[in-house]
Amino acid sequence: QVQLVESGGGLVQPGGSLRLSCAASTFMFSRYVMSWYRRAPGKERESVAAISTTAGSTNYADSVKGRFTISRNNAQNTVYLQMNSLQPEDTAVYYCHAKLFGVDTFDYWGQGTQVTVSS
């Protein structure tokens, strides 16, 4: 099993910044594709950003391109989501996700952390 623990969520004003962290409890962290998802009220869970095992490739949802940055530190078993220029539309519960590269049956979810953007 892989346990994922998110931190860094909270309340921020429009235009502000927030940095989410996700710590993974696994010796094989460098073999997991890591990603962030979010679910806003009344909407389905959507992919926000993903990063490859070696951090050589990233992708983002169109709604966050240019504002969010995903990164990882394999030595610390941690993935980050730097969120800048936050808008009320970014309000959601954010989830960390891990998928073992090349193995479809191994994937894990964090418990989620609330991000609220409001003045």
Q: What is the mean pLDDT of each run of 10 residues along the chain (119 residues)?
A: 95 98 94 97 96 94 98 96 98 97 90 97
Task: Count Cβ atoms within 10 A of the Cβ of residue 19 and give its class: 0-12 exposed, 13-18 middle, 19 or more buried.
Answer: middle
pLDDT at res. 1: 83
Residues 86 and 102: their CA atoms lie apart, in Å, by: 34
104 Cβ neighbours under 8 A, 6+ residues apart: none
Strand 10-12 and strand 113-117: the pairing is parallel
